[in-house]
Amino acid sequence: MPESAAAPPTTPVPLAALIAREDLGLRQIAGPEAGTVLHWVHTSEMEDPYPYLLGGELLMSAGVLLKDPDRYVSRIVQAGAAALGFGVAPVYDTVPDALIQACDRHGLPLLEIPPKTTFTAVARAVWRLMAEARHRELRRVTQAQQGLATAAARPDPVPAVLHQLAARLGGQAVLLDASGTELSAAGRAPGPEARAALTRLAQVVNPSSAATEEGAHPTPARTEGSRPCPAARRGPADGGETGRLAPASASDAVGGTHLSAYALGGSQGLVLGLATPLREPGDHTVAGVAVVLLSLLTAPHQGAESTGRSAALVRLLLGARPAEAAPLLGAERWIVVHARGERGTPFAASALGAGLGSPLLDPADDGTVRILLPADREVTPQPGWVLGVSAPVGPEELAAADTQAARAVHRAAATRTDLVRHRGTSLTALLSPDEAAAHARMRLAPLADAPALVETLRSWLSLHGSWDRTAAAMEVHRNTVRQRIARCATLLDEDLDDADVRMELWFALRSL
């Protein structure tokens, strides 16, 4: 179909589905056999039906005024008709060979309509197929909308929405920033040529991109609709002076891959890009739902709660004590959480904060995220993250809690544990249980084959080196205690009168 011929806004149906109707007895006798879709049905016995064709229709004729088959077919193709249905009888007993050859030459599918099948029956079958296709499409769109809404409620909403969109449309969904850089993506990526074209489309719907600001002119692309979309916005690069409006969406096709770009609402300069092998009628509607959800998920919000947080920050910057600013945050006691993860999208930290129920977070360049939570908030493991949790503290002790959380996440990473909580202020809390036990086994290795010596040493140290009390506790003679402790000193090659040695051995024995 030529670019100037726009198909009617109806649900297309494959020509093959119409031919498959056995009750009609239709037979294709010329033209390509695959890929043709019908948008309309029209009957005409005009010698030149060109002025009355909308494009995309099945034109039916009995050839009453058929004089020049080649010119007749060429005019039909020029008008953008999808196929020709030729009714056998009453004018012709068979389809003229010249018409068959002309359809093959111009690439127009030609159907033979038998005498028993009326044109009205063919038209009714097309409308029925369109109604069925429309019903299927509405159901698909509805299910896609429900899936996208469910994804938006997940702890990681942005990646979840992109994944759901890519699965529903059977391609890739990617979130691009103002320069065309990929922020997050889901689905199978297109080839390099299609990816480059998608970047150019992003520049079409987002004139604030770096390329446009430097004076480059993006490759022209088809925008949705012939008029400016209601959601079209003035590109920031225009400065509001040229009057040029950036379209809300644009589309193109490269190497069999259909590409679309949609500008997200707000001032973030983000663009949703789609690369799919097919383009169904409802895809634009599904993509529109995703655009709305992603616009909401990526836009900054300034409600009453965020206003209070901003006020607390201003007070701290102006010299207020933490205790004075804490009431604006809505809690008296807090816990600090340190998190380490491998998900490198810009929205991973926000998704983590949403999962823990706090917007008070601080992503660091090394991938660590710090989150501040009210003390009554339960901290649970989060998929893809390793967490370290501090003890509950007041505002004046947040710095100490930050250190506790840092140590806890270090222990969690070392022991490959999803979540480690601060265990207190004792020296034993500085090491994970596994690390402490490993150190104890190495420190007490000379006594490994003598459990009686280990128990005597444990009892003697716990009773502050008292021979008599140790003997009474173990129900042995005090000389036995002396001999065993002397043996321990020899095997360990340590001076057990040294307080530091006693302390180190005591911690080792406790770790076992």
- pLDDT-above-70 percentage for the chain: 83
Matching residue, tokens 């043709």? 36
> Is 308 a domain residue?
no
Write the single-letter amino acid at 17.
A
Query: Do 170 and 276 belong together in one domain?
Result: yes
User: Mean pLDDT over residues 263-285, rounded?
Assistant: 82
Query: Do 180 and 224 belong together in one domain?
Result: yes
> Is 3 a domain residue?
no
Query: Do 123 and 166 belong together in one domain?
Result: no
| pLDDT, tens digit, 9 for 90 and up, residues 93-142 | 999 999 999 999 999 999 999 999 999 999 999 999 999 988 888 888 88
**Given a cut of 60, is residue 155 above it in pLDDT?**
yes
**pTM of this structure:** 0.51
Query: Do 491 and 450 belong together in one domain?
Result: yes
> Is 317 a domain residue?
no
**Given a cut of 80, is residue 234 above it in pLDDT?**
no
> Is 8 a domain residue?
no
Taking the C-alpha atoms of residue 283 and residue 230, their distance in angstroms, rounded to an integer, is: 19
Average pLDDT, the chain: 81
Query: Do 191 and 208 belong together in one domain?
Result: yes
Q: 55-69 burial, b for 16+ CB within 10 Å, e for fewer?
A: bbbbbbbbbeebeeb
> Is 311 a domain residue?
no
Q: What share of the chain is helix, strand, coil (3-state, %, to 5)?
A: 45, 15, 40
Taking the C-alpha atoms of residue 389 and residue 340, their distance in angstroms, rounded to an integer, is: 12
> Is 394 a domain residue?
yes
Report which of 494, 500, 503 is spatially closest to residue 447, judged by C-alpha positions.
494
The larger pLDDT score, comparing residue 388 to residue 354, is at: 388
Query: Do 444 and 420 belong together in one domain?
Result: no
Cα three-residue angle 199-201-206, rounded to 5 degrees = 95
The larger pLDDT score, comparing residue 324 to residue 111, is at: 111
| pLDDT, tens digit, 9 for 90 and up, residues 336-350 | 999 988 555 556 777
Structure-token pair, residue 370: 């710090």
Contact (Cβ atoms closer than 8 angstroms) between residue 49 and residue 75:
yes
CATH number, domain at 447?
1.10.10.2840
Q: How many domains are there within the chain?
A: 4
Strands (E), 57-125: 57-61, 83-87, 110-113
**Kind of pairing between the strands at 182-186 and 57-61:** unpaired
| pLDDT, tens digit, 9 for 90 and up, residues 407-462 | 888 888 877 888 988 876 555 555 556 777 787 888 888 888 888 999 999 889 88
CATH number, domain at 85?
3.40.1390.20
* Residue 292 neighbours by CB under 8 Å, 6+ apart: 265
- pLDDT-above-90 percentage for the chain: 29
pLDDT value of residue 28: 95
Q: Mutual orientation of helices 451-462 and 467-474 as an angle, nearest 10°?
A: 130
Contact (Cβ atoms closer than 8 angstroms) between residue 369 and residue 376:
no
Half-sphere exposure of 156 (CA within 13 A, CB side): 18
Domain span at 453: 433-511
Half-sphere exposure of 125 (CA within 13 A, CB side): 20
Which of 205-219, 239-253, 290-304, 380-394 has the highest mean predicted lDDT (pLDDT)? Answer: 380-394
State how far the alpha carbon of 281 is from the alpha carbons of 36, 77, 82, 123, 169, in Å: 15, 23, 17, 21, 11
**Kind of pairing between the strands at 13-14 and 249-254:** unpaired
H-run or E-run covering 183: strand 182-186
Q: Choose the final residue of a domain: 427, 453, 487.
A: 427
Q: Choose the final residue of a domain: 427, 455, 473.
A: 427
197 phi/psi in degrees, rounded to 5: -65, -35
* Residue 100 neighbours by CB under 8 Å, 6+ apart: 29, 30, 110
- Encode 25-51 in three state secondary structure: CCEEEECCCCCCEECEEEECCCCCCHH
Query: Do 380 and 357 belong together in one domain?
Result: yes
**Given a cut of 90, is residue 50 above it in pLDDT?**
yes
The alpha carbon of 143 is separated from its chain's Cα centroid by a whole number of angstroms, namely 18
CATH number, domain at 271?
3.30.450.30
Query: Do 262 and 365 belong together in one domain?
Result: no
